[in-house]
Structure 1
Amino acid sequence: MSYRLDLSQPLEDETRRIALEQIARARRALAEAPPVEAIHELRKRCKKIRALLRLVRSALGKRYARENRRFRDLARQVSGWRDEQVLLETFDALLAHYRDEIDCRHYTAIRARLKARRERTLADELVGEGKGGEGKGGEGKVGSEGAVDTAALEAALDEARQAVLGWRLKGPQRDAWQAGLAMTYRRLDDAGETAAEEGSVVALHEWRKRVKYHRYHCELLRSLWKAPLTVRAEEAHRLSDLLGEDHDLAMLAAALDDADMQRISAERRQALGSLVARRRLSLQRSAMPLGTRLAAESPKALSKRFKRYRRALPS
């Protein structure tokens, strides 16, 4: 089934169903997909589960913090290689965007450095089944040299599946998602204001995270009113993509100052840095008005609107 709550069913059952489906997809990717796809799938599924947890956090009680930490840490185990892969993809996309203005051959050496970094990180992180040692606490998730063992990741997902089977929601369930929706949207609103005021890499990245959670909440709640919530989720997705590209470019700019890039001429690094700055400015100019529209309502008004959607559903 899709990543959507069936609000005609008990919320507790639906919460477990969706979490279990996301775990199954991540588990299947690790077992069957190439490393690039497997890592991407694992991280995406963990983000979707964390969004689901945020939607029902008030009803989960103390269990929320433990389960949110579980899926956050699981995704972080493979973050290093994914970050390096994104740097290479960001570099390629940047040069493609400005291909009519530049000679891409001037940046071949930089790309070679980025590719080498990616390959080194992949070799460090994916050691394969049976090569990982035990991490702290004997969990067996981290190898003897800090590398992630794919077999241990699969075991961690199996452990997470057992935990999800025990999830219980406290109190009345019918509208238990409303508090989580309101809290996440309020944080989106606050993060957008901070990003507009500061414009820092940290503030923009924090805003993006809040946008993504709101997007997933709109997807989860599509049964309230499919057409408008689908469009809202798509616009939130578009905003998160703009902010995501901006963040990736900021990381690319930072990578140009790393020690392994110092053998590249300063002129070439500065030229690429100028392209990064131009592209980031363009992305931010597109993101800001979209973010203003997405958060045009006050948190209180949005909460009331979604409550009215819920009351309009057949009993």
Structure 2
Amino acid sequence: MSYRIEPRLPVTAEVRRIASVEIDAALDDLSVSRTAPETGLHACRKKIKKLRALFRLVQSGDEAFCRAENMRYRDISRSLAGAREDTALIETVDRLVKTFPGQTAGGKLDAVRAALVSRRSLKAREGTGREDTIDAAVNAFEQGRLALANMDLPDEPQAAADMLADGARKAMRRARRALKAAAKDGRMEDFHELRKAVKSHWQHVLLLHRFWPAPVRRRRKALETLGDRLGDLNDVFVLQGLIATEPGELGPKEQIALLLRLLKRSEKSLRKECLRKANNLFGDAPKPRAGKIAGRYRAGVSDVGDGPAHV
């Protein structure tokens, strides 16, 4: 079954269905993670993002329940973080080599990359308690599945439409606030907040695909691209921070100096690109779009085609 809310069915049943599907998939990922931790845990955390976005979307329908579930899955995600972040730093070096072939030719960042690979391997070998962490996550997911029976959302069409529109509007407002902060102050945490807001809004567009105003597919693609670029920027920030705290652990001074220069150039380019793309997506007030979502839901629209409008 798809990660989409069907307006012709009761919204409570749809939210339970979608949450159950994602919980099942996350449990499968955790099973994989026992032998392939990086692959399984990364996939599991993606499912968690989808669950958290789902509960944010319907939060106004049952504030206490949705807040509690959001915290549940936030805590699970934090417990599983680690291996993927180490791999992301290696991928950042690979992107720099691809983006700046002239400056990195001849293996000028090879020692840095090897140090990051060694660092990841060492942390993996020292990763005591992983089985206990996975077992705890499995238990938390099972508790989350049981908790779905206590969710109390409004199924009356008008109330359900208002709830979904409210969740979508709040996510867009969050993204607009984050965009303004990133454009004004440009701090790492501002772009990190923008990234989280974009990811949540992207999931909402998927959930509301049946009745999101056209052109929905174009908006989904633009959000996915922006999320990827913000992820790249976040990896740049993290690697810069690692160099600041562990400069002697990542290779010879000349390679670290080159790495810092290229990271700065990449950061500047990514900042401009992310702000431009985000402004295209969130430059307009969200209220009119949210109103259309509510109207289309009430009308029971199940398939919205794309049209020649802006994203």
- TM-score, normalised with respect to structure 1: 0.87
Give CA-to-partner distance per residue, 1:15-47, whole Å, 9 cap, x none: 111111111111112213622221111110000
The answer as to whether partners of 1:51 and 1:216 remain within 8 angstroms in 2 is yes
Tell whether 2:38 aligns with 1:51.
no
Name the residue aligned to 1:90: 92
Name the residue aligned to 1:174: 160
The answer as to whether partners of 1:78 and 1:125 remain within 8 angstroms in 2 is no
The answer as to whether partners of 2:165 and 2:291 remain within 8 angstroms in 1 is no
The answer as to whether partners of 2:236 and 2:267 remain within 8 angstroms in 1 is yes
Name the residue aligned to 1:69: 71
Q: Which amino acid aligns with 2:4?
A: R
Q: Determine the C-alpha separation between the residues in 2 that align with 1:80 and 1:291.
A: 28
Greater RCO, CA 8 A, separation 6+: 2
Q: Which amino acid aligns with 2:2?
A: S
SS at match of 1:50: helix
- Counterpart mapping for 1:151-170 below 5 A: 151-170=135-154
Q: Which amino acid aligns with 1:46?
A: I
Name the residue aligned to 1:139: none
Q: Determine the C-alpha separation between the residues in 2 that align with 1:104 and 1:58.
A: 57
Q: Determine the C-alpha separation between the residues in 1 that align with 2:135 and 2:247.
A: 32
Give CA-to-partner distance per residue, 1:238-258, whole Å, 9 cap, x none: 111111101101111111223
TM superposition shift of 1:118: 1.3
- Counterpart mapping for 1:122-271 below 5 A: 122-125=124-127, 127=129, 129=131, 132=132, 148=133, 150-170=134-154, 172=156, 173-175=159-161, 176-225=163-212, 228-259=215-246, 261-262=248-249, 264-271=251-258
**Kindly tell me: are residues 63 and 258 of structure 1, through their superposed partners in 2, closer, same or farther at Cα, counting changes over 3 Å?**
same
SS at match of 2:166: helix
The answer as to whether partners of 2:93 and 2:113 remain within 8 angstroms in 1 is yes
Q: Determine the C-alpha separation between the residues in 1 that align with 2:184 and 2:213.
A: 34
Q: What is the alpha-carbon root mean square deviation over aligned residues?
A: 2.1
Alignment coverage as a number of residue pairs: 297
TM superposition shift of 1:260: 6.3
TM superposition shift of 1:263: 6.7
SS at match of 2:70: helix
**Kindly tell me: are residues 95 and 263 of structure 1, through their superposed partners in 2, closer, same or farther at Cα, counting changes over 3 Å?**
closer
Name the residue aligned to 2:307: none
Q: Determine the C-alpha separation between the residues in 2 that align with 1:122 and 1:262.
A: 17
TM superposition shift of 1:60: 1.6
TM superposition shift of 1:126: 6.1
Q: Determine the C-alpha separation between the residues in 2 that align with 1:43 and 1:126.
A: 20
Name the residue aligned to 2:44: 42
Unpaired segments ≥5 residues, structure 2 = 303-311
Unpaired segments ≥5 residues, structure 1 = 133-147
